[in-house]
Amino acid sequence: MKRAMLQSGYAFALLCGLLAMGWGVEAHAEPNSLKATVIDRYGNQHQVERFSYQGRQELEVYIEDQRRIIPLSLIGRIRFDGEHGDEVLAVSMFMRSGKRESGTILSGGGAAPHQDAVGGGSSGRRFTGVTTLGPFFILVNDVREIILRHPEGEGVPKEQILKATIITLEGRRFEVVDLRFRGKQRLDFFRGRNKRFIPLGKVEKIDFDDSGAAEEYRPITATYWNGRTVMGTVNASTVRLSGETDKSFYERVNAALVGKTESGLFTMGMHHIKQIRFHSVEEGEDPTNK
């Protein structure tokens, strides 16, 4: 009896040590629990786990000729149209919110690895993940449809449609919906030489300093809905850079902010703005419903 107790004592002490060791050295990677059913052009289905687009959890697409980065967490289903080998494919995205977006995606076409790529360059854009058979990848060109399966119990992320009043330095006012800064719902700014961002959905207003109107960087003060204030500078350069095309120069300078007004598309450069006042908007509200 005593012997048994003694042995159990040793075992307990060793177990404590092993558990402590396990607790001490355990390391884990961030979870990527996104699963997907990938249907290729021949109709084959692949059940993929840890699904990603070139290692990223976002998709680079062009919607209405504007580059947009869309998180995969917002998307329910993606359908690719066009011929195999096309460098640009038409893509339809059925968002989890019920909205549908159409645009184009670059597939890479039949590009070969670049001769200067060191370390085994790969060609073409691809989706990657893991199947029961091992690592999985498929070129965008070979995909017909992707049905994303998000983690169970995860709430459907709602897309915010930002509404704002934009007041220019000349005092003109514009009522804008679906406001975006360079395709994103956030404003990049600099605090010293550190780049930071302001999520536009959390901001009540952004004031642009008058004194910097003619300078490359304009000071701003953003006031959040919770009363917090952030100060910094934004790039408002109107200087044409060497190598810039007419279109890219125009877009960079005059279409930093893009949205929709009742009369159509709205664009404005950072050097024109005096103040942006955001309206509290119901999440997921359709801007076309007036």
Which listed residue (83, 116, 246, 262) binds other proteins by CB under 8 A? Answer: 116
Q: Among 4-12, 135-143, 215-223, 271-279, which window interacts with other proteins (CB under 8 A)?
A: 4-12
Q: Among 64-72, 151-159, 167-175, 274-282, which window interacts with other proteins (CB under 8 A)?
A: 64-72
Interactions with other proteins, residue window 161-200 (CB under 8 A)? 182, 188, 193-197
Q: Which is nearer to other proteins, 58 or 209 (CB)?
A: 58
Q: Is the dihedral of CA 181, 236, 255, 66 positive or negative?
A: negative
Alpha-carbon span 144 to 77, nearest angstrom = 11
Q: Which is nearer to other proteins, 28 or 290 (CB)?
A: 28
Q: Which is nearer to other proteins, 34 or 167 (CB)?
A: 34
Q: Is 26 in the site for other proteins (CB under 8 A)?
A: yes
Q: Which is nearer to other proteins, 108 or 284 (CB)?
A: 108
What is the token pair recorded at 193?
Answer: 């030489």
Name the minimum Å distance from CB 152 to other proteins.
18
Alpha-carbon span 285 to 215, nearest angstrom = 37
Q: What contacts 24+ positions apart, CB below 8 Å, involve 263-267?
A: 266/174, 266/176
DSSP assignment of 121-145: ---S-EEEEEETTEEEEEEGGGEEE
Q: Is 119 in the site for other proteins (CB under 8 A)?
A: yes
Alpha-carbon span 64 to 92, nearest angstrom = 13
3-state secondary structure of 165: strand
What is the token pair recorded at 136?
Answer: 């999985």
Q: Is 246 in the site for other proteins (CB under 8 A)?
A: no
Residues near 111 by Cβ (< 8 Å), separated by ≥ 6?
87, 123, 124
Phi, psi of 143 (to 5 degrees): -95, 135
The CA distances from residue 2 to 8, 9, 12, 133, 207, in Å, are 10, 10, 15, 52, 79
Q: Is 18 in the site for other proteins (CB under 8 A)?
A: yes
Q: Is 25 in the site for other proteins (CB under 8 A)?
A: yes
Per-residue binder mask for other proteins (CB under 8 A), 71-100, x = binder: -----------------x------------
Which listed residue (10, 42, 152, 227) binds other proteins by CB under 8 A? Answer: 10
**Binding residues for other proteins (CB under 8 A):** 6, 9-10, 13-14, 16-18, 20-31, 52, 54-56, 60, 62, 65, 67, 69, 88, 106, 108, 111, 113-114, 116-123, 125, 182, 188, 193-197, 202, 241-245, 247-248, 251-252
